[in-house]
Amino acid sequence: MEQDRNLEQELIYCYSRKQALEDGIQVAVSETAKEAGIRYPVFITGTVYERCVAVPDGVSGQDEAGRLWDVLTMFRWAASKEHEHRSEERRVGKECRSRWSPYH
């Protein structure tokens, strides 16, 4: 019933990904992300790009491609660690359930 009411309401405003990319609110980095081993489309905010990828004034010996690679590599590492942690939780949970189950 709640879902039906939501469908009847008028949409006030819609801001698409295309518009966000054109406005610089989002930055598409999927191609570099693929090279870094990330299988899904990746977008970062313009603020993240400016703070983490763009080379600050007065800094030499760095480029945006290298800094983006570093950001994506750190993201991939962090995501894989989270996956390992969750996999371990599931494994341990199954062991505990089977060990203490009254049905075995």
Q: Where are the domains of the chain?
A: 17-100
pLDDT of residue 95: 56
At 78, the amino acid letter reads A
pLDDT mean over 66-72: 96
Report whether 49 contacts 65 (CB < 8 A): no
Tokens coding 53: 């990828």
**Percent of the chain at pLDDT exceeding 70:** 70
**Cα separation, 66 vs 27, whole angstroms:** 16
**Cα separation, 62 vs 5, whole angstroms:** 53
pLDDT of residue 11: 76
Q: 31: pLDDT confidence band, cut at 50, 70 and 90?
A: very high
Cut 0.85: pTM above it: no
b/e string for 57-77 if b means 16 or more Cβ within 10 A? eeeeeeeeeebbbebbeebee
